[in-house]
Amino acid sequence: MSEIHHLSIKQLRDLIQRRDASVTEITESFLNRIRQCDDKIKAFLTVEEEPALAQAAQLDRQLASGESKNGLLTGIPLAIKDNIVTQGVRTTCASRILENYIPPYDATVMSRLKESGAILLGKTNCDEFAMGSSTENSAFFPTRNPWDLERVPGGSSGGSAAAVAVGEAPGALGSDTGGSIRQPAAFCGTVGLKPTYGRVSRYGLVAFASSLDQIGPVGNSVSDVALLLQAIAGSDPQDSTSAARPVEDYLGEIDQEVKGLKIGVPKEWFGSGLDGQIEQSLRAAIKKLEGLGCSLLEVSMPQTEYAISTYYVIAPAEASSNLARYDGVRYGHRSADQTDLDSMFKSTRSEGFGEEVKRRIMIGTYVLSAGYYDAYFIKASKVRTLLRNDYHEAFKKVDLLVGPTTPSLPFKIGEKKTDPLEMYLMDIYTVTANLAGIPGLSLPCGFSQEGLPIGLQIQAPYFQEARLLNLAHTLEQELAVQKQELAV
Amino acid sequence: MPIDTREVEKIAELAHLKFDPQELERFVGHFQQILEYFTQLETVSTGAVSTENVQYAHQAVEGKNRATPMREDEVRSSLPVATALDNAPESSEDHFQVPPVIE
């Protein structure tokens, strides 16, 4: 048997069910791995060592006495991105402004994981308020890519993806506003899913851009991601944008036949901006789909070139409004540099927010301000509709779309940090799914010559997660990507 | 359209942010670059296109109307005051405390 920390969630469940390992042994194994690697990877902002072990011991007692409910995730330790609130456990959003914030409630996804029997291992690093594509915008420290410690893990859910890749946790939750689950999943060689807008409750996800944000799972296999989605999906009275639609049996449908599926390959996604090694790896993987009996069809997504502009008008506009709540009154940092209420607000926000967060608040305030609202915000909202129409047209012809997750391989720490626009352009293949509200998944499809992971993205129509996971799982088995040596 | 330091200061005022001169200079440069990139949106023809949001995508899929979901207006328990005040930088009795607003 390979080491516990390299087992899948599915394998861990089997161990627990057969009593071949106790929940305490499993939890210890991941905590050990964190002790062993996290000095180098820096994936965690908070590790809940004692509470995790206490919960594990309790579950072991319940399992021994037969009192344990047969939860979907009984005894599985998980890592949670630090912008998802956890009752009694510090939740910082990787921001100084929330450095000491202890939430008085659980996000709905946390309540659901707890009901499923999962154990909270700790909270993972991210770009501050999920704004970034490299985890370098964390106010505390950058996270490192487990395949090359000099490189970024992607972002904003870089801590979650790195922790899963290196075996510090068998699975994790992240959030995806413009690619923040899929891009780090691609950079770290893990599977990451952004569900349909409304599939998973956003209650307790610290708001960045409310029409784009969605919580989703990160795992080492498609079946683990399916299992995690099963646990967290569904309607929630606390989130009026959550869908009432019943949740499908994702694991049950994962092995369906994919023969006959029509797969679209958008020509605009293979343009000049795409790295040659990524293109080569994708083309090889797409060819395998034909071998599986799928038919390939070239489709067109003409608005792709406007996606970054559209996204970087709309997301900051929503962020500028959502982040108005950080004023030093009810929670979070309050500046000592103040003479009156107004100066207290300004000093608090200026000290508490990092550079990228301030930049997005400023862009958002600008595009919503009198005189610019129509030219930017309304214009971008219209282009967003056109982009949705692109998807609508494409999905009349095909069942699913495939393409790259990222235009480049994981870049060096510091390489793009001084050029915000260059960093924004990293999101070109992911933001479109958020703007349209559809689901997207990143699947490892190979490694570059330098030993860096490459991700392939599959997108599906609204609420077609079952079919999306089905194709991803089948392709995953067919590709059988040989993992290279981790850097730790 | 070019943006200058004064304009950025005005936006900062609206956003309740302040920048030191060095920060401001760097900021104006990046701001300018990003706004220039956004000008590509002007080339997209969007005459009669609606700005309808995706937030109720699931209702659209199910063919339901897109009215805001409502719930019964029932009295429910909320966060206890003491708990709500736990994270407050300053509080007094049952209140959040802020610098004096009235002289």
Active site residue A81: yes
Q: Indicate whether B77 belongs to any domain.
A: no
Across the interface, of B11, B57, B99, the residue whose CB is closest to A369 is B11
Instruction: Report the pLDDT value the prediction gives residue A272, as an integer from 0 to 100.
Output: 87
* C-alpha distances out from residue B75 to B71, B72, B78, Å: 12, 9, 9
- The count of domains in chain B is 1
Record the tokens describing residue A260, joined without a space.
């006959």
CA angle B80, B84, B89 (to 5 degrees): 150
* Residues B42-94: tens digit of each pLDDT: 999 998 888 876 555 555 565 555 567 788 899 999 999 999 999 999 999 99
Nearest to A133 by CA among A443, A407, A485, A487: A407
- Domains of chain A, by residue range, sit at 4-261+438-479
* Full DSSP string of A423-478: HHGGGTTTHHHHHHT--EEEEEEEE-TTS-EEEEEEE-STT-HHHHHHHHHHHHHH
Q: Does B79 touch chain A (CB under 8 A)?
A: yes
CB spacing of B46 vs A376 below 8 angstroms: no
Q: Residue B33's domain is classified under what CATH number? A: 1.10.20.60
A:B CB pairs within 8 Å? 169
Could you check whether the bond before residue A156 is cis, i.e. omega within 30 degrees of 0? yes
Q: Indicate whether B28 belongs to any domain.
A: yes
CB spacing of B71 vs A420 below 8 angstroms: no
Q: Which of B38, B70, B79, B83 to mutate to test the interface with A (most CBs of A within 10 A)?
A: B38
| Window A:409-448, CB contacts with B under 8 Å | 420-421, 424, 435-437
Residue numbers of the domain that contains B19: 1-45
Q: Does B41 touch chain A (CB under 8 A)?
A: yes
In Å, the largest CA–CA distance within chain A is: 70
CB spacing of B12 vs A435 below 8 angstroms: no
Q: Does A70 touch chain B (CB under 8 A)?
A: no
Backbone torsions φ then ψ of A367, nearest 5 degrees:
-70, -15
- Is the Cα torsion angle A123, A452, A357, A349 positive or negative in sign? positive
**Residue A175 parent element (H or E):** strand A171-175
Q: Indicate whether B27 belongs to any domain.
A: yes
Backbone torsions φ then ψ of A212, nearest 5 degrees:
-120, -30
Q: Indicate whether B21 belongs to any domain.
A: yes
* C-alpha distances out from residue A458 to A248, A405, A472, B26, Å: 19, 9, 7, 38
Instruction: Report the pLDDT value the prediction gives residue B102, as an integer from 0 to 100.
Output: 80
Q: Indicate whether B60 belongs to any domain.
A: no
**Residue A297 parent element (H or E):** strand A295-299
Active site residue A259: no
Query: Are A174 and A187 spatial neighbours (Cβ–Cβ below 8 Å)?
Result: no
Cα separation, A80 vs A96, whole angstroms: 19
CB spacing of B58 vs A244 below 8 angstroms: yes
Q: How close is the nearest chain B Cα to the Cα of A238, in Å?
A: 10
Q: Indicate whether B30 belongs to any domain.
A: yes
Q: Which of B11, B37, B95 to mutate to test the interface with A (most CBs of A within 10 A)?
A: B11
* C-alpha distances out from residue A384 to A312, A376, A387, A391, Å: 11, 12, 5, 11
Record the tokens describing residue A13, joined without a space.
């469940």
Residue A151 DSSP SS3: strand
Record the tokens describing residue B85, joined without a space.
């005040």
Architecture of the domain defined by A4-261+438-479: Alpha-Beta Complex (3.90)
Cα separation, A25 vs A399, whole angstroms: 43
State the catalytic residue, choosing from A95, A156, A160, A448. A156
Give me the tens of pLDDT residue by residue for chain A, a chain 488 residues long: 469 999 999 999 999 999 999 999 999 999 999 999 999 999 999 999 999 999 999 999 999 998 877 799 999 999 999 999 999 999 999 999 999 999 999 999 999 999 999 999 999 999 999 999 999 999 999 999 999 999 999 999 999 999 999 999 999 999 999 999 999 999 999 999 999 999 999 999 999 999 999 999 999 999 999 999 999 999 999 998 899 889 999 999 999 999 999 999 999 999 889 999 999 999 999 999 999 999 999 999 999 999 999 999 999 999 999 999 999 999 999 999 999 999 999 999 999 999 999 999 999 999 999 999 999 999 999 999 999 999 999 999 999 999 999 999 999 999 998 899 999 999 999 999 999 999 999 999 999 999 999 999 999 999 999 999 999 999 999 999 998 889 99
Instruction: Report the pLDDT value the prediction gives residue A1, as an integer from 0 to 100.
Output: 46
ipTM for this model: 0.93
